[in-house]
Amino acid sequence: MLETILGQDACEKFKLILRLDQITTEKYNQDVFKGLECLKQFTYDIDLIDNPQFEIRSARKIPHAIRAEVKKELEEMMKLGVIRPMTEPTR
């Protein structure tokens, strides 16, 4: 059995690995991008495949450490009208 020389904490301390499980606001081009907006008077036709083969995957949970931030972001997106709550399964 192999043993590691450096553990996860040591690797983070020496900046050998970087955690990417953080929600941050984009700091570049803030004068151009001011949050999410909806396109007005925009239509798009989606070509659907006849008899598609579906793949079933289990749902992924959101890590507890970022749930509050994710909830806040989802509420903001709902307020802007980008997303809406679903009350029944999609087809």
pLDDT tens profile 39-49: 788 888 899 99
pLDDT of residue 72: 94
Task: Report the C-alpha gap between 79 and 68 in whole angstroms.
Answer: 16
pLDDT of residue 78: 92
- Token pair for residue 68? 């509050």
**Cβ atoms of residues 66 and 23 within 8 Å:** yes
Report the percentage of the chain scoring pLDDT > 70.
Answer: 81
pLDDT of residue 31: 73
